[in-house]
Amino acid sequence: MRLKHLWLGVAAGSAAGYGLYRAAAHQPPLTGIPAPNPAPDYAAAVAAAEAHIARSEPGLRPECAARVLTHGEATDRSIVLLHGFTNCPRQYVRLAEAFFERGYNVFVPRFPYHGLYNRAPKELANLTAEDLARTGNEAVDIARGLGRHVTVFGLSMGGLVTAWLAETRSDIDRAVLAAPAISNRAIPDALTPLLATYFRRGKNRFHWWNPDVKGAGDGPDHIYYGFPSRGFSALLRLSTIVWRNAEVAPPRARSIAIILNPSDESIDDAGVRRFAQRWRRQGANIAIHEFPAGWQLIHDIIDPAQPLQQIDRVYPLLIEWTEYPYYVAAAPAATE
C-alpha cells in the first residue's frame, strides 16, 4: 500500500511539474504582424526601400543603415540579405556587391536596435520576435517589386527569420538558412521555450560575447560587444514558434537550402538537422550543404571585417548553394 501511495505521489508530482513546464514554456503567437503586401512594381519597391533606409534611431551609425542596390529596373532575380544578432547591414557589404554583380537587385534591411554607436546598448533589450518577423515580412514585400524571382538569405538570427518567412510566405522562390539560430550549442532545444520566458520576464542582464575582454575585443566596430538577455529572448521565442510551426505544416517557400558550418561555435548543427527533419516529414524538399570541417570557419562567415575571416573561399560556395538549382545570367559588362 505504501508503494502504491509513493507511485501516486510521484505521478501527481510529475503531472504538476509537467503542467508548470507547459505553462512556463508556452510562447504566445506573434501579434501585430501585417499581412503580406508585395510592392506592385519596381517604383513602389524602391520607394518602400528608401523609406526603410530613412528609418533611423538615435545613435545609428551611417554605415549600418539598410541598403538597396538596383540596376535601375526590376530584374529577373532579387535577393534579401538578413543580418545576424548584434551585427548590422554592413555585414553584407561585400556579399551584397557580389550578388549585385551577378544581376540581382539587392535589399539589406536593418533589424531594430542594431547598428548603434554604443556597442553595449540598452536599447537592444526592447527587441521582440514581432520586430524580427515584421522586418523580414517588409523586406520580402519590397523584394517582390525588385525582381521576378525572390531569394531570401539569412545568417544566424537572419537565418532564423528566414525560416519563419519560409513557413509563412508562398511568394519566396528560394529560402537559404545559413547557420540559422534555430538550435544553439549553449541551450538544449528542450529548454529554449523556458529560457525564452525567463529572459523575457526575468531580470535583464548584459552578456558579453567574450567575458574575458568585454569591451576590449578586436572585432569590427559596427558589432556589439554583447547583448541584453531580454533582447535575446526574441530569438528564443521566434525559434520556439518556428519549431512549433514545423510540427503541423510544411514550409511554403518553393525551395529551401540550409547551410551548416561544422566548426560553428554558436549553432548546434545536429539540432538544425533535427529541425530540417520536421520539415521533411511534412513533405518539404530541403537541400543541406556543409562546409569542410577542416576549414575551421568562425560563426560569422559573412562579415569581411571579422578577424579570421575566409570569405575568398566561403563566398563562391555561398553563391553556388544560394543559386542552385536556378541559373542567373552574368551581370552586364561594365561600360567605360
Q: Exposed, middle or buried by CB within 10 Å (0-12, 13-18, 19+), for 146? A: buried
Q: What is the pLDDT of residues 314-336, one digit of tens each?
A: 999 999 999 976 544 443 343 33
As given in the structure block, the three cell numbers for residue 330 are 552574368
Q: Do the domain assignments include residue 278?
A: yes
pLDDT of residue 218: 74
pLDDT of residue 283: 94
Mean pLDDT across 104-122:
97
Higher-confidence residue of 17 and 310: namely: 310
Q: Do the domain assignments include residue 3?
A: no
pLDDT of residue 326: 59
Mean pLDDT across 245-253:
97
| pTM confidence score | 0.91
Q: Do the domain assignments include residue 329?
A: no
As given in the structure block, the three cell numbers for residue 145 are 517589386
Residue 149 backbone phi and psi in degrees, to 5: -115, 135
- Cα Rg of the chain, angstroms: 21
The CATH number that applies at residue 243 is 3.40.50.1820
Q: Do the domain assignments include residue 332?
A: no
DSSP state of 146: H
Mean pLDDT across 26-35:
95
Q: Do the domain assignments include residue 270?
A: yes
Range of 32's domain?
16-323
pLDDT of residue 22: 66
Q: How many CB atoms lie within 10 A of CB 66?
A: 23
β-pairing verdict for 75-82 and 105-108? parallel
pLDDT of residue 324: 78
**Confidence check: pLDDT of 118 > 90:** yes
Secondary structure, 3-state, 315-329: HHHHHHHHHCCCCCC
The closest of 310, 329, 307, 304 to 95, measured between CA atoms, is 304
Counting the structural domains of the chain, the total is 1
Confidence of residue 242 (pLDDT cuts 50, 70, 90): very high
pLDDT of residue 216: 77
Give me the residue label for grid cell 521582440: 128
Mean pLDDT across 200-218:
90
| Alpha carbon distances (Å) from 179 to 23, 30, 187, 324 | 30, 23, 15, 18
Q: What is the pLDDT of residues 134-167, one digit of tens each?
A: 999 999 999 999 999 999 999 999 999 999 999 9
> Percentage of the chain surpassing pLDDT 70?
90
Q: What is the pLDDT of residues 282-303, one digit of tens each?
A: 999 899 999 999 999 999 999 9
pLDDT of residue 24: 74
Confidence of residue 7 (pLDDT cuts 50, 70, 90): very low
Q: Do the domain assignments include residue 334?
A: no
**Confidence check: pLDDT of 215 > 90:** no
Q: Do the domain assignments include residue 27?
A: yes
Q: What is the pLDDT of residues 261-282, one digit of tens each?
A: 999 999 999 999 999 999 999 9
Confidence of residue 79 (pLDDT cuts 50, 70, 90): very high
Q: Do the domain assignments include residue 69?
A: yes
